[in-house]
Amino acid sequence: MPHDDPDHPHALLPPDPALRVKALETILTRKGLIDPAALDEIIDTYQNKIGPQNGARVVAKAWIDPDFRKALLKDATPVVADLGFYGRQGEHIVAVENTPDLHNMVVCTLCSCYPWPLLGIPPGWYKSDAYRARAVREPRKVLAEFGVTLPSETAVRVWDSTAEIRYLVLPMRPAGTEGMGEVDLAALVTRDSMIGTGLPKVPS
């Protein structure tokens, strides 16, 4: 394995990534700059408390409550904050709605911007070079890799998250869900459908 660029101080740490993290954690802990219990708390938050179930609740609510949907599309940040979804990487939320004519899809070509309070930590593919490079240039080929084929009459609009605005895709409500309640509808809303690389599940 080649050595890291020697002009960068990180090259002084062990090259193995797990050991590199451990070494930095140890140095910072010894100096009183981080509290390992706080690290456990951060990990627990994003592993167990904040995730796509939050966004799914927003989508399901928008499907059944026209006033909520209207407010969400107008100015999502206070609307989702009312449900308790606010905070780091979700300070400015914009919801974009799929229709038969328009399919929305979200990427961050420059890094990995993603609406954390609504969807949690992004999956590996969202952060991959392939997705970052290709989502803007050939979104339909990328969608096909997710098993999604759109009619050619449907326009694809890709949102490149270049600022601190975080986008949530509001997918179309699947047919055959009339009369379903919020909880059952939320169970149909997949993470990928809120990024725009997937569609909601259809009721079995």
For another protein, the binding residues in 139-178 under the rule CB under 8 A are 139-142, 145-147, 152-165
- Alpha-carbon span 41 to 49, nearest angstrom: 10
In the annotation, is 161 catalytic? no
99 binds another protein (CB under 8 A): no
Please tell me which residue in 108, 128, 161, 193 is annotated as part of the active site.
Answer: 108
The pair of structure tokens assigned to 129 is: 């070079």
**Distance from C-alpha of 107 to C-alpha of 167, rounded to nearest angstrom:** 9
What are the backbone angles phi and psi of residue 106, rounded to the nearest 5°? Answer: -115, 140
Counting contacts by CB under 8 A, is residue 138 touching another protein?
yes
Under the binding rule (CB under 8 A), the answer on residue 202 touching another protein is no
CA gap 146, 156 in Å, rounded: 15
Maximum CA extent, the chain: 63
Q: Does 114 bind another protein (CB under 8 A)?
A: no
Among 65, 74, 99, 137, binds another protein (CB under 8 A): 137
Residue 112 falls in the annotated catalytic set: yes
Nearest 5°: phi and psi at 79?
A: -70, -45
Please confirm, yes or no, whether 128 is among the known catalytic residues. no
Residue closer to another protein by CB (options 12, 175) is 12
Give the residue, chosen from 8, 66, 67, 178, that forms a contact with another protein under the rule CB under 8 A: 8
Which string of x and - marks every residue 42-61 that binds another protein (by CB under 8 A)? xx-xxx---xx---------
Chain residues 65-94 in contact with another protein, contact rule CB under 8 A: 86-92, 94
Closest CB to another protein among residues 162, 183? 162
Q: Exactly one of 112, 152, 161, 204 is catalytic; name it.
A: 112
The DSSP-derived string for 140-163 is HHHHHHTT----TTSEEEEEE--S
CA gap 170, 98 in Å, rounded: 6
